[in-house]
Amino acid sequence: MFDRVLDMLRTSVNVFGDACCATIVALLNRVLAALEDIRGAADVTLAGGVGVIGEVQHVTERLATTDAVIGEVANGAVRYAGSVGKLLG
């Protein structure tokens, strides 16, 4: 009689242990899937950041060019305004 009770107890412990292991594996799969999603997003962000850095490196040169163009436009505008002033004056 006690053997049957002990056998049922061992079986219950085994079933409970199997259920716990299955639950832990399922939770770990969820966590690992989330980590893979985060890694993928980080890779995309990093690749985009590297692309932006490549564009930013030329900003100084482009700003210098823009300053030169603005200077030329300002000189042209002053000359134009002087010519218009002479015509109207």
pLDDT in tens, 2-23: 888 899 999 999 999 999 899 9
Q: Report the C-alpha dihedral over residues 79, 80, 83, 85, rounded to 10 degrees.
A: -110
pLDDT(76) > 90: no
pTM of the model: 0.46
- Please calculate the CA angle 84-86-89 and round it to the nearest 5 degrees: 105
Amino acid 87: pLDDT: 79
What percentage of the chain has pLDDT greater than the value 90?
A: 17
**Higher per-residue confidence, 1 vs 65:** 65
Residue 52: pLDDT band by 50, 70, 90 thresholds?
A: confident
Amino acid occupying residue 85: G
